[in-house]
Amino acid sequence: MDNVRFENLSFPSFKQLLIMLCSILFSFRAIAEGNDGDYKFGNVTAKDFDVSSSKIVNPDDGAVVLYSAGSTHFIGNNKTWFNYVYTCTKRIKILKKTAFDLATVKIGLNIEENDGDVLSDVTATTYNLSNNTVSSISIDKNDIYTDRDSKYHAIKKFTLPGVQEGSIIEYTYTKTSPHYSNIPGWQFQSTAYPVLWSEYQVSIPVTLKFVYIKQGFDSFYIKKQWDGKEAYRMKNSVVTANTINYRWAEKDLQPLKIENYFSSLTNYVDKIGFQLSGVYNGEDSASIWNSWKNISEYFLYDDDFKQAVSKDNTWIKDLPEFKNGESELDIAKDIYHFLQNNYTCLDDEDVFSYMDLYDVYKKQRGTVRGINLLLMAMLNNKGIYTEPVLLSTRDNGIMNPNYPLLDNFNYLLCRTFIDGKVYLLDATNSILGFGELSNKCYNGYARIIHATRSDSLYLFTDSLNETDISTLALGSDENGKISGTYKCVMGQTKSVDLREQMKTSNPDEYFKNLKKDYSFDIDMINTKIDSLDQKGLPVSVQYDLNFKVNDDIVYFNPITPHAAEKENPFKAAQRIFPVEMPYRTNKTYILNMQVPAGYKVDELPKSARVALNDDEGMFQYLIQQTDDHIQLVCKLKLNKATFGPDDYETLRNFFAFVVEKESEQIVFKKI
């Protein structure tokens, strides 16, 4: 087969990713080439402990990855097909206690009866240097533990012993898997620590056709390709196949640091991922997952998806009572809230494990796939049309709209059409209103799963407008006591966030923390949170406050501390990644205040108005005094949620102005 290569295929331009999408036939043979230095596993010398000459290691780093290498090749199995064999080797120097967690290694395994992943050849050693002498201590097989986190998945883990600041840890392991269609990818760059050397080698027989994606800003230090040939023992025969071998390596990689307003480092870190797109048996070829139609067929083949789209699920008998009426919308809301209030989500990222919907229905628990497919089944049972929607959450990373990568999916929603209106539903989240989604779902591209069509769906944060309105009214008496009422009506996202917070806290604790925001002593009474239990409605927070003034000169910030932008979220001088806010902002703060009795206004902040890139946002600070009354209207508005790196300096300066202006104070002077 011919190689097909697509260079510089990118996501939406603001992502500025370096993506290389390739369809190619791979294969493997073990490669004995080393890196720039002479790396030999288990050969740690006193010289290896000295990283002072490296230009990318600094004193604040908790660790440095000295060497990181992976390789994947294939072997035949007794089912006349393939297993992949993946080997991972790492050598890391621990610089600070903050990096001790690197000494605990976790390896995920798919477990199936008589045909699961097999872990082997585990070797792990801690090296310490004392008086220029290297000592070592290794784990044995009894130090490897197994955690079963689901019916089909387990985690093998071990902790290297004797780790201290200055230690070098080194480990290697091999995983053999029958899941040949899902070979491991490789992350060259760390999100926390500098990496001096990282490489990956892969090789796949010509019977398998894979797509690979290279992502990141750094170029390869080594990129090699060569042809080969390998013999594969399959059941009672040996098959010889041509191979194409690859080796990629990068060196001296600085960590990808987390910054404010950042959806996922997964979108930018240097890495390679793979997906099977076709197979070839020597005579015939077949496509696997090289189209969105294939992806839909992959999911719709499972019985739980078939149950979800069926109108004949007679096992659904005990539907909730319909108290709101018999319209489709009322029925849909009742079913949605019934699942919300009575079902438990066991895993909110598992979209690949099959779940029998009858089992989910009876046990009242399931994964995000199981519960939202059950929602579809119950709605379809009442004649309400639904469709499954697959997406990738913000933390999981953006989906590539140009090619169907199966591993990108980690979340499932239900889309329904009622009275000409589209609703996206997620019954796994007990605090969402009907038709509301958690902010994590707004990550751009999503996909409808359907037998005859597979439509695109876009959930951008730019479509979310968070409108908050805060008011503060203050009066005073002749004794210097100032009192009034503060109220804030939150937008949808902040309302959901507060409801989530109250699941593990309470209003008393919430107002106690609000009181701490004030830099002077106040009494906070008559506290109230409205609509907390009314899903879908905006939450409002209200309290009365009073405090005394008696100094000759009083400095007073007219904006309450929890309504103000207290610090600039953009601290770095430069930024190479886009700014990804969770929503568009529309914030209004209104103050009506009586000048304290016995005082006069000595200084009043000046009004101001600034625009961000003409029409992308604005900040307005309008203040005036009329007799003994002061009124302030402060507005902050951002007309989009995502800003490219070219806009970063402007955005940083804009927020610097906002923070400075909102910190200005009114000066009252005793008469």
Give per-residue pLDDT as tens, 37-56: 468 999 999 999 999 999 99
- Give the position of tokens 């050969």: 43
* pLDDT at residue 382 in the model: 87
Q: Looking at 157-161, 174-178, 355-359, which range is the least confident one?
A: 355-359
Sequence-distant (6+) residues with CB within 8 A of 110 are 116, 117, 152, 153, 177, 179
* pLDDT at residue 9 in the model: 29
* pLDDT at residue 279 in the model: 86
Q: Would the pLDDT of 498 be above 90?
A: yes
Q: Measure CA 523 to chain center.
A: 40
* pLDDT at residue 120 in the model: 96
> For 550-603, what is each residue's pLDDT tens digit?
899 999 999 999 999 999 999 989 888 899 999 999 999 999 999 999 999 999
Region 110-121 average pLDDT: 85
**Alpha-carbon gap, residue 448 to 404, rounded angstroms:** 12
* pLDDT at residue 112 in the model: 74
Region 12-24 average pLDDT: 32
- Where is pLDDT greater, at 516 or 2? 516
* pLDDT at residue 319 in the model: 66
- Structure tokens belonging to residue 540: 């409002």
Residue 323's pLDDT band (cuts 50, 70, 90): low
According to DSSP, the residues that pair with 486 across neighbouring strands are 472, 543
Q: Would the pLDDT of 13 be above 90?
A: no
Picking from 328, 340, 348, the residue whose alpha carbon sits closest to that of residue 535 is: 340
Region 334-353 average pLDDT: 92
- Residue 101: other Cβ atoms inside 10 A: 11
* C-alpha torsion sign, points 71, 121, 178, 351: negative
* pLDDT at residue 310 in the model: 83
Residue 252's pLDDT band (cuts 50, 70, 90): very high
Region 190-196 average pLDDT: 94
- Where is pLDDT greater, at 30 or 357? 357
Region 108-137 average pLDDT: 91
N- to C-terminal Cα separation, the chain: 91
* pLDDT at residue 278 in the model: 86
**Alpha-carbon gap, residue 472 to 488, rounded angstroms:** 9
- Structure tokens belonging to residue 56: 């990318």
Sequence-distant (6+) residues with CB within 8 A of 374 are 308, 339, 343, 357, 360, 361, 366, 427
Residue 4's pLDDT band (cuts 50, 70, 90): very low
Picking from 137, 144, 170, 172, the residue whose alpha carbon sits closest to that of residue 63 is: 170
Q: Would the pLDDT of 35 be above 90?
A: no
Domain residue spans of the chain: 4-287, 292-459, 465-670
- Structure tokens belonging to residue 401: 């709209």
Q: What is the second-level CATH architecture of the domain 292-459?
A: Roll (3.10)
- Mean pLDDT, the chain, rounded, equals 88
Residue 12's pLDDT band (cuts 50, 70, 90): very low
Task: Report the share of the chain in percent with pLDDT over 70.
Answer: 91
> For 426-461, what is each residue's pLDDT tens digit?
999 999 999 999 999 999 999 999 988 878 899 999
* C-alpha torsion sign, points 652, 654, 659, 664: positive
- Where is pLDDT greater, at 142 or 325? 142
Residue 91's pLDDT band (cuts 50, 70, 90): very high
* pLDDT at residue 237 in the model: 85
- Sort 614 into a burial class: Cβ within 10 Å, 0-12 / 13-18 / 19+: exposed
300 Rama class: left (phi>0) / alpha (psi -120 to 50) / beta: alpha
Residue 93, helix vs strand vs coil: strand
Residue 74's pLDDT band (cuts 50, 70, 90): very high
Sequence-distant (6+) residues with CB within 8 A of 170 are 41, 42, 44, 89, 90, 91, 92, 124, 125, 127
Q: Looking at 254-258, 559-563, 615-619, which range is the least confident one?
A: 254-258
4-287 and 465-670 agree in CATH topology: no
Q: How many CA atoms lie within 13 A of 82 on its CB side?
A: 30
Residue 151's pLDDT band (cuts 50, 70, 90): low
Residue 390, helix vs strand vs coil: strand
Q: CATH: 3.30.1540.10, 2.60.120.1130, 2.60.40.10, 3.20.20.70. Which one for 465-670?
A: 2.60.120.1130
According to DSSP, the residues that pair with 417 across neighbouring strands are 422
- Where is pLDDT greater, at 621 or 316? 621
**Alpha-carbon gap, residue 381 to 574, rounded angstroms:** 55
Residue 325's pLDDT band (cuts 50, 70, 90): low
* pLDDT at residue 587 in the model: 97
CA angle in degrees (0–180, nearest 5) for 529-533-539 = 45
> For 406-432, what is each residue's pLDDT tens digit?
888 999 999 999 999 999 999 999 999
> For residues 37 and 51, is the Cβ–Cβ distance under 8 A?
no
- Structure tokens belonging to residue 61: 């780093």
What topology does CATH give the domain 4-287? Answer: Immunoglobulin-like (2.60.40)
Note the residue count of the chain.
Answer: 671
* pLDDT at residue 46 in the model: 96
- Where is pLDDT greater, at 291 or 134? 134
Residue 81's pLDDT band (cuts 50, 70, 90): confident
Q: Quickly list DSSP for 79-90.
A: TSSEEEEEEEEE
